[in-house]
């Protein structure tokens, strides 16, 4: 099937984005990607909404990448979806046996009948034939961008791991580091609610307006939702060029400009944070070298501090030239899961993550994005995100930090809460937190 192209105009792009988001409620499967006009991130599109599947690729770990590549061979068209962290099990001899109250598919992609793209105030509809966008445009124009409360009743957020248990587990992980098992590991914990009645579209709207992250993502698959305020890119392909931008190093923002600048400067100079970031950069370089032409892996930017709504983040940019005829799925698999959410060495770090964490990560620390008809792609890292089951009213927020030999467990715990701050502030209008 061919895809038609129609251009529209709208006087208020921000309003249009909200109208598209709420218009998509009529469909059970949707992906929204929003760069929030963040200039640094080499983003090809400002906003994308894909909905109404024509074809779906859904798979568990052992056949996931094969299924994805088969779909790409069958149809040279857009695919939108995600890869869950637990696809690690088909790439290495690993397993996932921790608690899972969400039960998302481990890999999910779909070919949309209806695709809306916004770039530089240009509004484009890319519809599969015979579907036409004109009637939809009228419906979108009549869709309100304002809705009722996103949270119907108080949400009681609980910690899956108590602070005392967190400190004990981080101490145990540091003993592994002292023995030489690993150099660094990303250790995460879950905040959750078992009786959360939320309106996901409106809550995503509120989260996005507050944080304005460069890799925001909204995913709906029936009663399963992801609301992501991610600041991090996992992997992007443009032609034969690969780009990865791992984040390691976090500091709090402050209202006082002098204090805020000092915090950023301290982060930039921190030997601990730079060491953590550099270790992950080396891991990314190693992953990329598996599918890159010899000598092409380069660090374009090392340990640069960028500002976001609630935190300063230390970001590096690693690039490489992809080997000719490398399949899309092989390029993604070579770098997955991302080093910033695992550790070094990667396989041993993932074994310890499974041993010490108490919740299956699932889509958290996975990746959401798209693959275009040419095979180019762009995926985020699923962090700073809510995962939600509407049918069970289970709401999950996972946060983590990198542990090294020099880490202070108390400060790492505080860093986890800092990373959750933006999401929790949106929830806080009707929220109780039980530590």
- The alpha helices in 143-186, defined as continuous H runs, are 163-179
190 flagged as catalytic? no
CA angle 30, 389, 128 (to 5 degrees): 15
Q: Which residue has the tokens 């218009």?
A: 23
| Rounded Cα distance, 295 and 45, in Å | 30
CA angle 251, 267, 41 (to 5 degrees): 75
CA angle 219, 244, 419 (to 5 degrees): 60
232 flagged as catalytic? yes
* Torsion, CA 219, CA 237, CA 383, CA 303, rounded to 10: -160
SS3 category, 309: coil
Give one DSSP letter per residue of 332-389, joined into a string. HHHH-S-GGGSEESHHHHHHHHHHH--B--TTTTSEEEEE-TTS-EEEE---SEEEEE
According to DSSP, the residues that pair with 123 across neighbouring strands are: 8, 118
| Rounded Cα distance, 263 and 259, in Å | 6
| Rounded Cα distance, 395 and 377, in Å | 29
According to DSSP, the residues that pair with 34 across neighbouring strands are: 47, 216
Single out the residue of 380, 387, 290, 377 nearest to residue 338, CA to CA: 380
| Rounded Cα distance, 61 and 84, in Å | 9
- Identify the active-site residue in 248, 346, 360, 419: 248
> Residue 90 has which token pair?
């088909």
- Identify the active-site residue in 184, 232, 273, 415: 232
SS3 category, 226: strand
> Residue 2 has which token pair?
């061919």
Catalytic (active-site) positions:
232, 248
């Amino acid at each position: 099937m061919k895809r038609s192209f129609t251009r529209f105009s709208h006087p208020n792009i921000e309003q249009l984005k909200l109208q598209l988001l709420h218009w998509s409620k009529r469909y059970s499967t949707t992906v929204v990607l929003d760069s929030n006009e963040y200039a640094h991130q080499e983003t090809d599109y400002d906003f994308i909404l894909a909905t109404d599947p024509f074809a779906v690729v859904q798979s568990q770990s052992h056949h996931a990448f094969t299924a994805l590549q088969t779909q790409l061979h069958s149809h040279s068209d857009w695919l939108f979806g995600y890869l869950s962290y637990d696809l690690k099990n088909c790439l290495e001899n690993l397993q996932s046996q921790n608690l899972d109250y969400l039960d998302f598919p481990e890999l999910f992609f779909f070919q949309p009948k209806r695709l809306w793209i916004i770039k530089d105030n240009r509004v484009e509809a890319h519809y599969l034939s015979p579907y036409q966008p004109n009637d939809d445009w009228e419906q979108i124009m009549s869709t309100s961008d304002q809705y009722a409360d996103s949270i119907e009743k108080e949400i009681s957020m609980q910690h899956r791991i108590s602070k005392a248990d967190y400190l004990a587990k981080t101490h145990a992980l540091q003993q592994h580091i002292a023995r030489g098992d690993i150099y660094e590991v990303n250790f995460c914990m879950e905040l959750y609610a078992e009786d959360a009645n939320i309106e996901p579209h409106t809550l995503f709207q509120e989260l996005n307006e507050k944080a304005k992250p460069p890799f925001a993502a909204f995913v709906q698959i029936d009663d399963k939702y992801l609301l992501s305020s991610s600041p991090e890119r996992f992997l992007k392909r443009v032609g034969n060029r690969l780009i990865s931008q791992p984040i390691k190093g976090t500091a709090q923002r402050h209202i006082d400009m002098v204090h805020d600048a000092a915090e950023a400067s301290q982060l930039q100079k921190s030997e601990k944070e730079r060491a953590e970031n550099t270790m992950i950069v080396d891991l990314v370089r190693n992953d990329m070298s598996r599918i890159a032409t010899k000598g092409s892996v380069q660090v374009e930017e090392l340990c640069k501090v960028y500002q976001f709504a609630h935190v300063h983040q230390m970001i590096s940019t690693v690039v490489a030239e992809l080997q000719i005829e490398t399949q899309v799925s092989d390029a993604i698999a070579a770098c997955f899961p991302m080093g910033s959410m695992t550790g070094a060495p990667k396989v041993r770090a993932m074994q310890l993550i499974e041993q010490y964490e108490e919740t299956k990560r699932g889509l958290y620390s996975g990746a959401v994005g798209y693959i275009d008809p040419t095979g180019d792609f762009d995926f985020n890292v699923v962090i700073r995100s809510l995962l939600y089951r509407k049918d069970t009213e289970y709401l999950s927020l996972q946060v983590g930090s990198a542990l090294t030999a020099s880490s202070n467990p108390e400060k790492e715990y505080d860093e986890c809460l800092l990373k959750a701050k933006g999401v929790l502030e949106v929830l806080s209008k009707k929220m109780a937190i039980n530590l």
